[in-house]
Amino acid sequence: MTTSWLPVPDGTDFPVQNLPYGVFSRRGELPRIGVAIGEYVLDLAGLAAAGLVQDRRWFAAGSLNAFMVAGRPAWQATRSRLVELLTEERHREEVEPHLVPQAEAELHLPVEVSDYVDFYSSLEHASNLGRILRPDAEPLLPNWRHLPVAYHGRAGTVVVSGTQIARPYGQRRAPDAQTPTFGPSTRLDIEAEVGFVVGVPSSLGSRIGTGSFREHVFGFVLVNDWSARDIQAWEYQPLGPFLGKSFATSISPWVVPVDALEAARVQPPAQDPEPLPYLQVAEAWGLDLTLEVELNGHVVARPPFAGMYWTPPQQLAHATVNGAAVRAGDLFASGTVSGPNPEQYGSLIELTWNGERPLILPNGSARTFLEDGDVVTLRASAPQAEDVRIGFGEVTGTIVPARPG
Amino acid sequence: MTTSWLPVPDGTDFPVQNLPYGVFSRRGELPRIGVAIGEYVLDLAGLAAAGLVQDRRWFAAGSLNAFMVAGRPAWQATRSRLVELLTEERHREEVEPHLVPQAEAELHLPVEVSDYVDFYSSLEHASNLGRILRPDAEPLLPNWRHLPVAYHGRAGTVVVSGTQIARPYGQRRAPDAQTPTFGPSTRLDIEAEVGFVVGVPSSLGSRIGTGSFREHVFGFVLVNDWSARDIQAWEYQPLGPFLGKSFATSISPWVVPVDALEAARVQPPAQDPEPLPYLQVAEAWGLDLTLEVELNGHVVARPPFAGMYWTPPQQLAHATVNGAAVRAGDLFASGTVSGPNPEQYGSLIELTWNGERPLILPNGSARTFLEDGDVVTLRASAPQAEDVRIGFGEVTGTIVPARPG
């Protein structure tokens, strides 16, 4: 197994097999590109200035977008070079000055998000929501097994892990009421998701087939798509979610390269009916990631990403089959990841079955939806050969009271 | 009445009272900022280089975003200065070299679109769609009169007038079928809309009240939100439109400043029930614009914007009441503008009543939805005192055949 001359803790999210990219700074410094390795950030802007990696314009930047546009050959060359620098003892002396302890690094939003699309690709999540919201009808709508349902979210309110989440104000209507009331959301929820980020753009009128996923997609992030269920329920007919989602979407500061997840690829669930030709995929593109949902320090769910019905290459092929162009920084999230068992549900509306079965935390407190002061942390990792795991770090957020207008 | 020393044609869209901003270039030149006046573009980058206007960084740019961020005092100072330069004879000699005939100018997308939100704010349009799509139910859904319904569209496929529109491929399902088919859309439609563009950002967690509209909004554009009705009908439950809209949205190359439309403000229709306090507006913010929908050279509708139920300040207040931030370049479109009379409908699905009553064009050809080769041109203008009108120029697009994957 490849190991680094830099000691990394057992079970770290960031072995040399991972090397996720992010944007960091120390106090008073300009944000720039770094790579996570063990308990350090490797400063790529510093390495580039020292002539140890190409190319300074990519790495002395406040977002990954310029590097992402450079394309797969540049991504692969950089990744190979970083492995060389971190594993060959002869490079130790020149590389060490560019290691910054993560404890000293502030992590920023890693990409300038261009468009944000959110899918609905877990069969279990879509079925659970159908059972909860339309108890007398077939849980899955007729289109669900034919196409990966999705909508556009708000790109401008995608924030990095650690950003406080102010409880949103909005309109809601009680089940038996005629008119809505206005106030802070009382049904604030999480959605544990995995997203991918586009690097290489496509042009208007062209498609990205399922076989071209790796040519366009730079990497994966962990996503918490915060949702105000009461606002959403009142507003969403007929054009979909708007203010119930647009107040904030948190993503991990680290973008895990597609190549780091090659060993995590598994056969996804069988699809019935067989999808249309443009949605068929030659390779196995399930991803064996286990997510962890932690509420106030207590793990309340472990959603399995391997069971997602629609896979990332299918999502991208669908989103572009009408000729829609993609740009560097486009974020495509999976939708809530839920497994078949209740301890695998990726949202509180499922975990508490619409508030009917409160979660009891170890300190005895009960939760249906989120309360002010609650801290939600998502984690995800993929098993790798020989006790190595590829991790995403975490996406965390604290709920703060609503801010009056 | 203020007049320019530069002769402008009678009835021009671009009198000195308008001065809309755009991005232009002549062959081989870099795109830069200009203002439309009569049959010319006034080159602001050239004026700035000559020291005649502030500030070169705003105007020697490929989009309006840097100028839009500068804020209302900068917008007002620039506008006053341009009026002075174009109306005082003593400036004629120094300004004339910076006038470029519009016939020689290529017009580009005027703003880098950050997020794109599309409303649904015409009572007549929403009612017509309800009658067509849900004939056995109340046309308006319960939320419609309480909030301006909206969804996020795709910012990356907003294109400038003149861009060819390739018929999108997608899934659709016949009314009596169990499974979908795949192919080029057979129900390609237009939506005549008016949008506004944000200049000054807001921060996450804050709101933009209805009284702060002018502090944030730079100007208005004309919008054609192309729609594939068959793709949309099959995909849109439960999360709203996605591929049925995301293939292209055309906007006018000219952004009309908010100040140029002051004389067009009128009392909007009364709202019943009274809106919640955050949606109440002290000023009259209806806008007396008449739109014109031309299909293959023949005007098929004249939708009146003055009758829109929800007004622009209400739309912006609603979109930010949950604390969502806005950025320079955010585009908020009105939704299809339709009036009460059939010749005022802003979409073909209404004009042909879902294809049941084809339009017969003067050459005898019939249209339900758009055919390849069709040319759609939207125009809009506001009456102004003394035979002056404030126009938006046009948004035009030609339908070209679907491009196989």
Q: Is the pLDDT of residue B404 over 90?
A: no
Rounded distance between C-alpha atoms, residue B241 and residue A149, angstroms = 10
- Residue B175's pLDDT band (cuts 50, 70, 90): confident
Asked whether B226 and B397 are in contact (CB, 8 A), the reply is yes
Which candidate in B98, B125, B216, B318 is catalytic? B125
Which 3 state secondary structure label does DSSP give A256?
strand
B203 and chain A: CB distance < 8 Å anywhere?
no
Q: What is the pLDDT of residue A405?
A: 66
Residues on chain B touching A405 (C-beta within 8 angstroms): 207, 209, 278, 321
Distance from CA of B141 to the nearest CA of A (A): 7
- DSSP, res B208: -
* pLDDT higher than threshold 70 for residue A58: yes
Residue at token pair 């680290």: A254
Residue A385's pLDDT band, with cuts at 50, 70 and 90, is: low
Contacts of A105 (CB under 8 A, 6+ apart): A24, A25, A26, A34, A41
For B104, the 3-state DSSP assignment is helix
Which residues contact residue A151 at a Cβ distance below 8 angstroms, ignoring those fewer than 6 apart?
A: A117, A118, A240, A241, B151, B152, B239, B240, B241, B242
pTM: 0.98
Chain B nearest-CA distance from A173, in A, is 9
B140 shares contact with chain A (CB less than 8 Å): no
Question: Count of CB atoms within 10 A of residue B256's CB?
Answer: 32
Mean pLDDT of chain B: 97
Confirm whether A125 is a catalytic residue: yes
Identify the active-site residue in A125, A146, A152, A216: A125
Q: What is the DSSP secondary structure assignment for residue A288, as one 8-state letter?
A: -
Q: In terms of Cα–Cα distance, which of A300, A359, A337 is closest to A124?
A: A337
pLDDT tens by residue, A82-124: 999 999 999 999 999 999 999 999 999 999 999 999 999 999 9
CA angle B75/B77/B78 to nearest 5° reads: 65
A150 contacts A119 by C-beta, under 8 angstroms: yes
Q: What pLDDT digit, counting tens, does each position of B23-61 carry?
A: 999 999 999 999 999 999 999 999 999 999 999 999 999
The three-state secondary structure class of A402 is coil
The minimum CA-CA distance between B345 and chain A, rounded to whole Å, is 20
Q: Which segment of A328-337, A345-354, B170-179 scores lowest on mean pLDDT?
A: B170-179
Q: Which residues contact B296 (CB under 8 A, 6 or more apart)?
A: B361, B363, B365, B374, B375
Phi then psi dihedrals of residue A241, to 5 deg: -70, 145
Given an 8 Å threshold on Cβ–Cβ distance, is A234 in contact with B143? yes
Q: How far apart are CA B351 and CA B236, in angstroms?
A: 22
Torsion sign, CA atoms A219, A222, A227, A229: positive
Residue in chain A lying closest to B167 (CA): A322
pLDDT for res A383? 80
CATH, domain A21-108, list 2.30.30.230, 3.90.1150.10, 3.30.450.20, 3.40.640.10: 2.30.30.230
* CB contact residues (below 8 A), chain B span 327-346, against chain A: 327, 330
User: CA of A180 to nearest chain B CA: how many angstroms apart?
Assistant: 8
pLDDT tens by residue, A223-275:
999 999 999 999 999 999 999 999 999 999 999 999 999 999 999 999 999 99
Measure A114 CA to nearest chain B CA, in Å: 7
The one-letter amino acid at A101 = P
Q: Kindly report the backbone phi and psi dihedral angles of residue A161, in degrees, each rounded to the nearest multiple of 5, phi listed first.
A: -45, 140
- What band does B387 get if pLDDT is binned at 50, 70 and 90? confident
pLDDT for residue B93 = 98
| Cα B54 from Cα A319, distance rounded (Å) | 43
- The answer to whether A155 and B244 are in contact (CB under 8 A) is no
Cα of first residue to Cα of last residue in chain A, in angstroms, is 56
**Interface residue B173 vs chain A (CB under 8 A):** yes
Specify whether the CB–CB gap between B287 and B376 falls below 8 A. no
Amino acid at B141: L
Chain A residues with beta carbon closer than 8 angstroms to that of B248: 204, 323
Query: Looking at residues A366-375, what average pLDDT do you find?
Result: 98
Chain B (102-121) residues lying within 8 Å, Cβ to Cβ, of chain A: 114-115, 117, 120
Q: Where are the domains of chain B?
A: 21-108, 116-400
> What digits encode the pLDDT tens for the residues A203-232?
999 999 999 999 999 999 999 999 999 999
CATH number of B116-400, picked from 3.10.290.10, 3.90.850.10, 1.10.3720.10, 3.40.50.620:
3.90.850.10
Chain B contact present for A239, CB below 8 A: yes
Q: Which of A146, A152, A181, A226 to mutate to test the interface with B (most CBs of B within 10 A)?
A: A152
Closest in B152, B205, B235 to A143, CB measured:
B235
Q: Which pLDDT tens digit goes with each residue over B128-165?
A: 999 998 899 999 999 999 999 999 999 999 999 999 99
Q: Which residue of B has its CA nearest to A401?
A: B205
Q: Do B155 and A151 touch (CB under 8 A)?
A: no
pLDDT at A403 (0 to 100) = 80
Residue B209 in this model has a pLDDT that exceeds 80: yes
pLDDT of residue B124: 98
| Predicted pLDDT of residue A384 | 72
Contact criterion met (CB below 8 Å) for A254 and B162? no
